[in-house]
Homo-oligomer: A and B are copies of this chain.
Amino acid sequence: MNDSTVDTIRTLVVLGSGNVAVHLARSFVQKGIEIVQVYSPTIDHARQLAEEIACRYTNRLADLHDADLYLFALTDSAIPEVLRQRSWEGKLCVHTAGSVPLDVFKPFTQFYGVLYPFQTFSRNVPLALDEVPFFIEASDKNVEQQLFQLASKISSRIQLANSQQRQSLHLAGVFACNFVNHMLAIAENILKQNNLPPESIHPLIGETVRKALIVSAEKAQTGPAIRNNTEIIRKHIEMLRDKPEWQKIYTFVSDSIYKMYHS
């Protein structure tokens, strides 16, 4: 065991004040981990989170306190920027990003890792973290063990994933979260434009997801595209004539559905 690391992580500095920072900070505090300080380049944002969890805050990287772990809950591009602004030698640095490789930390310290929560966070939507899968990657076995132990305090679903797997998780998440949401937004818009109550689609959405989770989405596919019902497909594309970007989505998603089951 190296002197520069500790056996059990008891104190954190949180860098960032966005949705991931807020949700992780709240959960860690609840589980007895001490957040000693919050850093954000925008002092008001740092203060807001710090007041909620009763800790100090700063917008100056030179003023960071000592802690067992520095949690970089920052946007992808901010991570290397913040790293370049001071020395991190001997400190344990961990980020939470899907698409930032582990070795972003390599030039700056020998102890580092990733703690990636595979979930969508909104500041004001409460969320139980204990069912959220956390994917861990670490510079060495010792750090890996420490991150496992730390993450286990807030979630029961901890797994290893290397940087390439984590990128794939992020990509899968774009389809399953961001793109699913956009399909729902288009559906809502179509209903509104035709004076139909948006909530009339809720049972269909609920059942679609319920079935996909039970039998797998690949097996649950239905609709005109998988049956190659060209008459309906043509009619639907015609109905979308005022929305060329939705027509393209209709066309290419239908093509992709057909190809998944007929090639």
Contacts and interface: CB of A to CB of B under 8 A. Distances in A.
A236 interface: yes
A4 interface: no
Majority DSSP secondary structure for residues of A touching B? helix
- Residue of A183, A195, A221 contacting most chain B CB atoms (<10 Å): A183
Given A196-B161, A216-B198, A220-B181, A174 B256 contact: no
B172 A201 contact: yes
Nearest to A198: B216
A235 B153 CA distance: 33
A142 interface: no
Interface in A230-263: 231-232, 235-236, 239-240, 245-246, 248-250, 252-253, 255-257, 259-260
B200 A118 contact: yes
A180 B180 contact: yes
6 contacts: A76-B232, A168-B196, A182-B217, A184-B212, A185-B221, A248-B256
